[in-house]
Structure 1
Amino acid sequence: MSSQTRIQDKFKRQMEEGHQLERWEGYVDWRNRPAMRGRHGGMLAASFVLVVEILENLAYLANASNLVLYMSKFMHSPSRSANTVTNFMGTAFLLALLGGFLSDAFFTTYHIYLLSAVIEFVGLVILTVQAHLPSLRPPTCVTANSNIPCKEVDGKQAAMLFGGLYLVALGVGGIKGSLPAHGAEQFDESTPQGRKQRSTFFNYYVFCLSCGALIAVTLVVWIEDNKGWEWGFGISTATILFSIPIFLSGSTIYRNKIPTGSPLTTIFKVLVAATYNSSITSSQRNAVSSMATSPSYRTETSEEDNAGEKVPIQSSSKGLKFLNKAMINTPGHTALECTVEEVEEVKIVLRILPIFACTIMLNCCLAQLSTFSVQQAATMNTKLGSLKVPPASLPFFPVIFIMILAPVYNHVIVPFARKVTKTEMGISHLQRIGIGLILSIVAMAVAAMVEVKRKRVASHRGLDSTGPLPITFFWIALQYLFLGSADLFTLAGLMEFFFTEAPSSMRSLATALSWASLAMGYYLSSVLVSIVNNLTGNSQHTPWLKGHNLNHYHLEWFYWLMCILSGLNFLHYLFWANQHKYRLTRSGN
């Protein structure tokens, strides 16, 4: 008898002797065996995820934060550089939905991370090779000061550039869609301690994002600007490769949620069934209505939590009554018959979508950190003593602030809020998101005033001047601080909100909505820039945001427009936040 067979027999005997009570229902280990209490999951398992996130975000942000300058200087595409960056970053975050969907439906978050890391590694290898070999890039521009434009990247060079970029985007999307959910799945939400640890995990997940970003926007960006882009891409390549064995080191203690099939199938079936049954008779409608409001209905409307216990779904069935029609048994259409639980799960998803939509505008504001804010800083005095700071290193300021604020929030603000409010969370998820939205409004107002000051200095020297303006780049840091604070409050709150509120069969996909909001924000930024330029450009005026010299832009007007739109968006958010009822009352919200 082989050793493997003996181990399997021993495991079976343990199951027969009653040790099955120690299992995590619905979870397996890395060998696809039942995950066991005390052996799998917990903060130690989640710690591997936090370390990996530092490396992963370093690899991604090291290039994304400086990509606008790479596109304009080395690929000679200044007019399209801002939109190229926002489209790349938007695609990366939008693909998180694919990673989350695959994690819920067919694979575990464990396997999706490993596959995505390999894909990102391949994309970075392609970009590194292109940055290293001059023959794979457009020729050096020697006519920068003449009227002859530089040759932009095209043909095979463009195919290699965008092929590498979007392989990276695919890998980043898969990682963002699987890694946070993988870490959050390690905690036992049937106990207050487990729920508090999960909340701590999300706070420190953002902290680790910032740690990776700090290294990226300081050390790696400096290397890219002073040693060459092949070094920057090379560091990112090595970093993502190094993250894989670190992630694998925690394999023996991870607990991995068993995929339960496509969550989109459930959503589609309920919507189709409700639509098909919309012509039911009044007697049938009354039967469904009485069932939806009866105590027995609420008792059977439940799902299994991480501990295998039945947890009542607390969301009221008084809303979205149209979906109740999906529960009518229509003769001859058994494939469309939906259970009470399936209908309630779809209602939960539909209730969190307005909150998701309200965060897109905030992320549109965040998109400016990677585009116009970098271009602003490039026109200013970036010297810090004898050290010249690269413009792409400006995120250093919000990153440091987040790294300080995240532990303070978790260990000081939240405990104090718990004592004051007498609730488990202290500050609810929706309150936290709302604070972030307010900070984004302030950030855009500050950005507009700083741009007015920068333009005033530029006008004294001449708007066509190309040298650094006699104004310190520290002024730009103000808008970075406010937007960084907004990001901390909103991103961590949003991820935990989606993970907690979503049905267990859709948690990875729901958590990925946090990144999809970022994606929509970047896309919205590109759309707004195009719309503003089309509306403001005519025979007598130049567009607000177009040209080869930032001093001729009306960037301050654009920032005021963003401020107004953000204010309207906050009012929209208040309406939906006040309407929302938390699904799990035991979470302390």
Structure 2
Amino acid sequence: MTMLDAGNIEEGRCFPGRRDRARVSFLLICVVAGFMGLAKSGWQANLIVYLIDEFNFEPIVAAQIYNVVNGCMCFLPIIAAIVADSYFGCFPVASVSFLISFLGIVIISLTATLVSLRPHQCTAGSSTCDPPSKIQSATLYVGITLSVLGVGGSGFTMITLGANQFDNEKQQGAFFNWSFFCQYVGTATGLTLLLYIEESVNWRLGFWMSAGANLIGFAVFLIGHRCYRHIKPQGSPFTSLACVLVAALRKRKLPIPSDSNAYYSRIQEKSKGELALIPREKFGFLNHAAIKMEGDVNSDGVIVKRWRLCTVQQVEDLKMLIGVSPLWLSSILLSTPIAVQNSMTILQALTVNRRLGSSFEIPAGSVLVLIMFSATIWLTIIDRLLFPACQKLSGSPPTFLQSVGVGHVFIILGMVVSALVESKRLHTSSRSNPDSTTVSMSILWLFPQLILVGIGEAFHFPGQLSFFYCEFPESLKSSATAIVGAIIGIAYYVSIGSVDMFRTRTTWLPQDLDKGRLDLVYWVLAAIGLTNFGYFLACACLYKSTEKADDAVAASGANLDGKK
């Protein structure tokens, strides 16, 4: 992490020592992450079953709504990050979002508490069910919308606030791993305890417990206000990036100068001296934006016409975003199979034997807890065993991109196993094979595919987060973490389109999964994942070599100018 200007940082005041303050902030934010994971999973993970059982939605429609909710929940952090970076800072945005999320869960809880806010349940054997009324639908959607807005605005903004407490990449990487560990523990608790209560006791108790967890997390977050290091927003960074494009286009006919003094560079104090920034050759067209012309600056060196001249640092910031964009795109197709699998696995769970023993029945939504358990265990193994072992053997730990690459492999394996397991489920299904005497497949068969996906997430998710956080410009640190959420959000939208395409163009996804071919869907996803993995490897290799080449060019230019 590049050191920020001290004038832009407000240090926490709960402890005189920076190390003690950072440790307390670390602990508090990890606790908050756990409670918010519990609160979110309590209503979101069981949404498909709730819509089917209590609001009489068709299964595939409920799954699509679930994907829309998840897509919005993951995409909204980028908007919250822009607001935090540009105007208010991380703490105010996260605080307001926690409150909005609490109000949303309260409204969802009211739909489960008040009979007037739900349609009449379907009678056994009935072919038609009463749809929800306009008031019932509106109340449900308002509750879901507020909950989604709250979760989207708080999660990654809070994580960025936590990362801002530390000054080096190693500490930040440890924070990312442990914050997600706590979030996964909270989510896993919600997927087991709260979902069991919702299906075995009653929905309202589970939802109100979810609201309570949100309120506790919000209170803990507010308690730590005096301990946190707050970084002041510096205005909209995206406006300055837009200025680079406009200025470069307006000066596109100018020749690229060889003299570094021809560029407008932000002067930085360093050891009582001055260090001028020099633009790199990569994406050289953008260098036009930093070329000084007569009338662009006044006698004090201040820019007169903002949309005609930009600093070299602004140009380099935009180049940095362009440089990582191919890797960002590869992550979308990495997350799309996971999005499809999450919703389809819940529908699969509704068709199999979910009993363990004579009396206990696993809630269908709880099956996704295997991803959380697997990811949580492997995050610990990675942080405490694998990475330290790799560092001892090779002298350095795996890079962030190498970690993401391993995640790709496990996600592909998860899709392959999903296809094989679904083939077995179809073979043993009594509805698809009326003459079959085979007992319905146990839900335990769904576990291996979820465990593999969990291992993949443990590798690729923190790796992506750390990579973007380290590579993004300082002014876009909140956006760097939120962009990982945006990736998942776009992946959910792509999954919605993919499911619709399979429904309209093929016979693979009917309302009754036993009459379809979900296994073929998984095989297609595995093939797409394998192709995307090849694309990722190419992007990762080119990104690494390009950065090294640019560093060499920059160093060479600095030496020639006598600046280094």
Do structure 1's residue 75 and structure 2's residue 69 form an aligned pair?
Answer: no
Unpaired runs of 5+ residues, structure 2, are 297-304, 552-564
Answer yes or no: is the 8 Å Cα contact 1:138–1:152 preserved in 2: yes
Change in Cα spacing, 1:469 to 1:510, as seen in structure 2 (3 Å) is farther
Cα distance, 1:466 vs structure 2: 14
Q: 1-side partners of 2:5 and 2:45: how far apart?
A: 44
Residue from 397, 400, 417 that aligns with 2:370? 397
Residue from 29, 32, 45 that aligns with 1:49? 29
Cα distance, 1:300 vs structure 2: 6.2
1:419-468: CA deviations, max 9, x gaps?
23323xx1111111111111111111110000001101115x65579999
Do structure 1's residue 171 and structure 2's residue 143 form an aligned pair?
Answer: no
Do structure 1's residue 556 and structure 2's residue 519 form an aligned pair?
Answer: yes
Residue from 94, 107, 120 that aligns with 2:75? 94
1:63-88: CA deviations, max 9, x gaps?
22111111111111114101100001
Cα distance, 1:100 vs structure 2: 0.9
Amino acid at match of 2:541: N
Change in Cα spacing, 1:23 to 1:102, as seen in structure 2 (3 Å) is closer
Q: 2-side partners of 1:95 and 1:89: how far apart?
A: 10
TM-score by length of 2: 0.88
What is aligned with 1:275?
Answer: 249
Change in Cα spacing, 1:259 to 1:265, as seen in structure 2 (3 Å) is same
Q: 2-side partners of 1:70 and 1:205: how far apart?
A: 29
What is aligned with 1:410?
Answer: 383
What is aligned with 1:539?
Answer: none
Do structure 1's residue 502 and structure 2's residue 469 form an aligned pair?
Answer: no
Change in Cα spacing, 1:64 to 1:369, as seen in structure 2 (3 Å) is farther
Change in Cα spacing, 1:428 to 1:302, as seen in structure 2 (3 Å) is farther
Change in Cα spacing, 1:557 to 1:96, as seen in structure 2 (3 Å) is same
What is aligned with 2:195?
Answer: 221
Answer yes or no: is the 8 Å Cα contact 1:64–1:370 preserved in 2: no
> Superposition pairs for residues 359-508 of structure 1, below 5 Å?
359-386=331-358, 387-423=360-396, 426-458=397-429, 462-463=432-433, 470-508=440-478
Residue from 69, 80, 92 that aligns with 1:111? 92
1:132-190: CA deviations, max 9, x gaps?
11111111212x5233x21222411111111110111100011123011011000022x
Q: 1-side partners of 2:374 and 2:45: how far apart?
A: 18
1:229-262: CA deviations, max 9, x gaps?
2112111111111112211222222101110111
Amino acid at match of 1:404: I
Q: 2-side partners of 1:309 and 1:152: how far apart?
A: 72
Q: 2-side partners of 1:23 and 1:350: how far apart?
A: 25
> Superposition pairs for residues 140-289 of structure 1, below 5 Å?
140-142=121-123, 144-147=124-127, 149-189=128-168, 195-278=169-252, 280=253, 284-287=254-257
Answer yes or no: is the 8 Å Cα contact 1:66–1:370 preserved in 2: no
Change in Cα spacing, 1:350 to 1:230, as seen in structure 2 (3 Å) is same
Change in Cα spacing, 1:469 to 1:170, as seen in structure 2 (3 Å) is farther
Aligned-residue Cα RMSD (Å) equals 3.0
Change in Cα spacing, 1:145 to 1:303, as seen in structure 2 (3 Å) is farther
Unpaired runs of 5+ residues, structure 1, are 1-21, 190-194, 537-542
Amino acid at match of 1:222: Y
Q: 1-side partners of 2:468 and 2:206: how far apart?
A: 34
What is aligned with 2:508?
Answer: 544
Q: What's the secondary structure of 1:207's corresponding residue?
A: helix
Q: 2-side partners of 1:428 and 1:300: how far apart?
A: 32
Percent sequence identity is: 29
Answer yes or no: is the 8 Å Cα contact 1:113–1:175 preserved in 2: yes
Amino acid at match of 2:99: V
Amino acid at match of 1:419: K
Answer yes or no: is the 8 Å Cα contact 1:50–1:204 preserved in 2: yes
> Superposition pairs for residues 293-312 of structure 1, below 5 Å?
none
Q: What's the secondary structure of 2:121's corresponding residue?
A: coil
Q: What's the secondary structure of 2:126's corresponding residue?
A: coil
Answer yes or no: is the 8 Å Cα contact 1:181–1:507 preserved in 2: yes
Q: 1-side partners of 2:109 and 2:447: how far apart?
A: 30
Amino acid at match of 2:288: K
Answer yes or no: is the 8 Å Cα contact 1:24–1:37 preserved in 2: no
Amino acid at match of 2:149: L
Q: What's the secondary structure of 2:429's corresponding residue?
A: helix
Answer yes or no: is the 8 Å Cα contact 1:121–1:240 preserved in 2: yes
Residue-pair matches, total? 533
1:98-133: CA deviations, max 9, x gaps?
111111111121111110000001111111111111
Cα distance, 1:345 vs structure 2: 0.6
Q: What's the secondary structure of 1:138's corresponding residue?
A: coil
Amino acid at match of 2:33: E
Cα distance, 1:551 vs structure 2: 0.2
Residue from 295, 303, 323 that aligns with 1:351? 323
- Larger CA deviation: 320-329 vs 73-82: 320-329
1:3-52: CA deviations, max 9, x gaps?
xxxxxxxxxxxxxxxxxxx9955211479x9x976277423212111110
1:357-376: CA deviations, max 9, x gaps?
11112221221343110111
TM-score by length of 1: 0.84
Q: What's the secondary structure of 1:249's corresponding residue?
A: helix
Runs ≥4 residues deviating over 4 A: 22-25, 296-305, 308-314, 330-333, 461-469, 582-585
Residue from 1, 4, 10 that aligns with 1:28? 10
Q: 1-side partners of 2:464 and 2:95: how far apart?
A: 25
Q: What's the secondary structure of 2:440's corresponding residue?
A: strand
Change in Cα spacing, 1:163 to 1:76, as seen in structure 2 (3 Å) is same
Cα distance, 1:385 vs structure 2: 2.1
Q: 2-side partners of 1:417 and 1:304: how far apart?
A: 39
Q: 2-side partners of 1:469 and 1:135: how far apart?
A: 40
Do structure 1's residue 132 and structure 2's residue 113 form an aligned pair?
Answer: yes
What is aligned with 1:520?
Answer: 490
Answer yes or no: is the 8 Å Cα contact 1:100–1:178 preserved in 2: yes
Change in Cα spacing, 1:220 to 1:304, as seen in structure 2 (3 Å) is farther
What is aligned with 2:46?
Answer: 66
Amino acid at match of 1:492: P
Q: 2-side partners of 1:89 and 1:347: how far apart?
A: 31
What is aligned with 2:290?
Answer: 327
1:542-583: CA deviations, max 9, x gaps?
x31122x21012100110010111111111111111111469
Amino acid at match of 1:505: S
Cα distance, 1:273 vs structure 2: 1.6
Answer yes or no: is the 8 Å Cα contact 2:337–2:525 preserved in 1: yes
Q: What's the secondary structure of 2:88's corresponding residue?
A: coil
Answer yes or no: is the 8 Å Cα contact 1:206–1:488 preserved in 2: no
Q: What's the secondary structure of 2:441's corresponding residue?
A: strand
